[in-house]
């Protein structure tokens, strides 16, 4: 089947940007299916680092079409900034980028709402990126959202914005004491984005289905990760979209029967940004060492990422939900200096060992991880590009991760650059 989904297996930042950029070589189209500019996907080549938030990670490959699907929430301000950044890097977008006319728009009042809820002690903090993601998806589900298609007609745009404005103004004042700028300022800013949105907008679902019928290869790009999925993650400490592989069908308009392969991207250890349970988190020096060696600071907000050991319960759960039989393992080189490595195989709580992911926050927050220990390899693996060139203990660790997770590795990443990669099999 010519459709593959690439999905994050943990709490995001697994290295999806690097892996999707590599796999994009094999595809005709790269299509983002959910999330918004809360994502930060890093791609490094020719000694340069590029961070993408909204535009698919195939954009650096000339001739590949990039689609932002209906399941994505688009902040036009962030989109324009990213377009300018790519323009400055010499990437022409006309004819290469298409936005779904059904995608919902993040408006400035969504950001005000997100930040208002997250500040102070009155409401439970999620540790969001503050980008207005949750409020925009809330409006979508509540049938109050503004879609890209609404930008086609000036009168229609004014009408849908005004219908929202009065309600948001009262709610934001009441809940967070925030005043919204006048309606005319909101309208004027959005009208300023009209020309660009309309120029890049199309019925992307119809476009993708036609391309599928023509035998084109499609790579569906996930943002965030399975543990941040609104249904399957550590709710409520999740994002507001379906980041697991199922989201690719609803977020792009692809029939489920057409999806062939799902590849999971998984880090050789675990990180998470923001609040919420994290059973293998290391609050000791090892966590700081992982953060320092792995440069674990958010690509979107710059926040330090919480770090911990590899969690095979998470990996097995991700494989079950996403149907992943193949994984891309990233950042194995970050473990080069560790004497001993640990892998979690279960959670101990209340006299019971959980080998499957519990829904209960109480269990996740208070459980004790059951660990297996492995000897480190204490030599550099940075840039290694063939499996048999890896140190013996690194190979044994990788084979254990595969065995405990229940999936094969299709690729192993040994550094941020394109060439720092062991390719074991293709995407499709």
**Residue among 97 and 334 whose Cβ is closer to ligand GDP:** 334
20 binds ligand IMO (CB under 6 A): no
38 binds ligand IMO, rule: CB under 6 A:
yes
**3-state secondary structure at position 177:** coil
Among 104, 131, 261, 342, binds ligand IMO (CB under 6 A): 131
In the complex, what is the shortest distance from the CB of residue 234 to ligand IMO, in angstroms, rounded to a whole number? Answer: 9
Of 109, 102, 97, 96, give the one whose Cα is nearest residue 71: 102
- Which CB atom, from 13 or from 118, has the smaller least distance to Mg ion? 13
Q: Per rule CB under 6 A, is residue 133 in the interface with ligand IMO?
A: yes
- Nearest by Cα to 406 from 279, 320, 328, 280: 320
Which of residues 100 and 271 has its CB atom nearest to ligand GDP in the complex?
271
Site membership for ligand GDP, residue 15 (CB under 6 A): yes
Residue 294 binding Mg ion, by CB under 5 A: no
Exposure on the CB side of residue 364, measured as CA atoms within 13 A: 19
- The sign of the dihedral angle between the CA atoms of 412, 415, 417, 419 is negative
* Cβ contacts of 15 within 8 Å, gap of 6 or more: 42, 265, 267, 328, 330, 331, 413
Structure tokens at 165: 């404005």
The upper half-sphere exposure of residue 324, i.e. CA atoms within 13 Å in the direction of its Cβ, equals: 33
Among 2, 7, 9, 12, the residue binding ligand IMO under the rule CB under 6 A is 12
CB of 242 to ligand GDP, least distance (A): 17
Shortest distance in whole angstroms from residue 89 CB to ligand GDP: 16
Q: Which does 274 bind (CB under 5 to 8 A by kind): Mg ion, ligand IMO, ligand GDP, none?
A: ligand IMO
Selection from Mg ion, ligand IMO, ligand GDP, none that 126 binds (CB < 5 to 8 A by kind) is ligand IMO
Active site residue 232: no
Catalytic pick from 21, 37, 41, 104? 41
Q: Which residue in 252, 273, 307, 407 binds ligand IMO (CB under 6 A)?
A: 273
- Assess 18 for contact with ligand GDP (CB under 6 A): yes
The answer to the question of residue 56 lying near ligand GDP (CB under 6 A) is no
Find the binder of Mg ion among 55, 299, 363, 427 (CB under 5 A). 299
Cα Rg of the chain, angstroms: 21
Question: In the annotation, is 110 catalytic?
Answer: no
334 binds, among ligand GDP, ligand IMO, Mg ion, none (CB under 5 to 8 A by kind): ligand GDP
Position 306 contacts ligand IMO (CB under 6 A): no
Contacting ligand GDP within 314-333 (CB under 6 A)? 330-331, 333
Q: Which is nearer to ligand GDP, 175 or 292 (CB)?
A: 292
Q: Backbone phi, then psi, for 49, in 5-degree steps?
A: -110, 130
DSSP bridge pairs for 5: 220, 262
Q: How many residues bind ligand IMO (CB under 6 A)?
A: 24
Region near ligand IMO per CB under 6 A, out of 38-46, 57-65, 100-108, 388-396: 38-46
Task: Give me the DSSP letters along 19-35.
Answer: HHHHHGGG-SEEEE-SB
Nearest Cα neighbor of 215 from 28, 59, 26, 30 is 28
Residues in the chain: 428
As given in the structure block, the two tokens for residue 27 are 């595809």
For the beta carbon of residue 123, count every other beta carbon within 10 angstroms. Answer: 12
| Residue nearer to Mg ion on the CB measure, 71 or 205 | 71
| Residue 10, token pair as written in the block | 């943990």
128: contact with ligand IMO by CB under 6 A = yes
CB 304 within 8 A of CB 291: yes
Q: Out of ligand IMO, ligand GDP, Mg ion, none, which partner does residue 228 contact, by CB within 5 to 8 A per kind? A: ligand IMO
Question: CB of residue 272 vs ligand GDP: minimum separation in angstroms?
Answer: 12
Phi, psi of 31 (to 5 degrees): -130, 120
Burial 130-166 (b: 16+ CB within 10 A, else e): bbbbbbbbebbeeeebbbbbbbeeeeebeebbeebbe
Print burial letters for 76-106: b (CB count within 10 Å at least 16), e (below 16).
bbbbeebbeebeeeebebeebbbbbbbbbbb
Residue 411 DSSP SS3:
strand
Told to check if 40 binds Mg ion by CB under 5 A, we report yes
| List of residues contacting ligand IMO (CB under 6 A) | 8, 11-13, 38-41, 126-129, 131, 133-134, 223-225, 228, 239-240, 273-274, 299
| List of residues contacting ligand GDP (CB under 6 A) | 8, 12-18, 40-42, 44, 295, 299, 330-331, 333-334, 413-416
Catalytic residues: 13, 41
């Amino acid at each position: 089947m010519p459709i593959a989904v690439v999905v994050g297996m943990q709490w995001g930042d697994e290295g999806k940007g690097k892996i999707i950029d590599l796999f994009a070589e094999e595809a005709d189209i790269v299509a983002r299916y959910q999330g918004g500019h809360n994502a930060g996907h890093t791609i490094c080549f020719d000694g340069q680092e590029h961070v993408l938030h909204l535009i698919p990670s195939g954009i650096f490959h000339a001739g590949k079409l990039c689609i932002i699907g209906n399941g994505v929430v688009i902040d036009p301000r962030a989109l324009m900034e990213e377009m300018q950044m790519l323009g400055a890097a010499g990437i022409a977008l006309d004819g290469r980028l298409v936005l779904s006319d059904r995608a919902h728009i993040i408006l400035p009042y969504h950001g005000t709402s997100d930040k208002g809820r997250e500040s102070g002690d009155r409401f439970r903090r999620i540790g969001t990126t503050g980008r207005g993601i949750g409020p925009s998806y809330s409006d979508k589900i509540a049938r109050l959202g503004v879609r890209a298609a609404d930008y086609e007609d000036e009168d229609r745009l004014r009408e849908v914005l005004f219908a929202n404005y009065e309600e948001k103004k009262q709610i934001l004042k009441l809940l967070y004491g925030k005043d919204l700028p006048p309606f005319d300022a909101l309208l004027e800013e959005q009208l300023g984005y009209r020309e660009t949105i309309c120029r890049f907008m199309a019925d992307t679902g119809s476009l993708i289905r036609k391309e599928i019928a023509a035998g084109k290869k499609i790579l569906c790009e996930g943002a965030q990760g399975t543990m941040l999925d609104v249904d399957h993650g550590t709710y409520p400490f999740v994002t507001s979209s379906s980041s697991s592989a199922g989201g690719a069908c609803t977020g792009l308009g692809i029939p489920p029967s057409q999806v062939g392969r799902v590849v999971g991207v998984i880090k050789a250890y675990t990180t998470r940004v923001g609040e919420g349970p994290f059973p293998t988190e290391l609050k000791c020096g090892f966590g700081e060492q992982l953060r320092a060696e792995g440069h674990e600071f958010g690509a979107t907000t710059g926040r330090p990422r919480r770090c911990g050991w590899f969690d095979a319960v998470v990996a097995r759960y991700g494989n079950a939900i996403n149907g992943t039989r193949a994984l891309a393992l990233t950042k194995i080189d970050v473990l080069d200096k560790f004497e001993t490595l640990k892998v979690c195989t279960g959670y101990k709580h209340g006299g019971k060992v959980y080998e499957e992911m519990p829904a209960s926050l109480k269990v996740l927050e208070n459980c004790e991880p059951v660990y297996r220990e492995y000897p480190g390899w204490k030599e550099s693996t940075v840039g290694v590009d063939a499996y048999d060139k890896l140190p013996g203990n690194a190979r044994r660790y990788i084979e254990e991760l595969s065995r405990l997770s229940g999936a094969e590795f299709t690729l192993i990443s040994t550094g941020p650059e394109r060439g720092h990669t062991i390719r074991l099999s293709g995407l499709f």
